[in-house]
Amino acid sequence: MKKFYYILVASFFFDQISKWFVVFWLDLISLNSIDVFPPFLNFRMGWNYGVNFGLLGQQSELKSYFLTVLAIIISGLIMFWIYRTKVTNLQVSFGALLCGGALANAFDRVIYDGAVADFLNMSCCGIYNPFVFNFADVFIFIGAVGLAFSPENKKN
């Protein structure tokens, strides 16, 4: 379980520190846009009140509470599953990434009045991508896909 908590804490703080650095220290909150390595990597300020890619994006206090509580419950269930089941080291890592990202975005919703701070924007090959995301979203995606496709532990 130590590995799980180390990865969870590292992913949580990596996301939060990256948001603080880009949004506040580089002042993206005022500038709204910073071209880093266009078009491949840009910083674009976005406040996401919904889920990935702005789905369910209408601002609602009830929805914000629901999404925050849902992230905490899902993280708790994953922790319980990892603690009570013989899982592989890879599954521990993927579960920790998913939980770290989910809890980082839940923390955002608490401190930013229901919104998640998004700032990463990537485009390629003449295709413009209007969406912004953050490292927590990356961790959630890697964790979820990794858990979905990781092989089962044969010792169960």
List the catalytic residue out of 27, 108, 113, 137.
137
Provide the token pair at 39: 């078009």
Catalytic residue status for 35: no
State phi, psi for 34 to the nearest 5 degrees.
-135, 120
Residues annotated as catalytic (active site), given as ranges: 118, 137
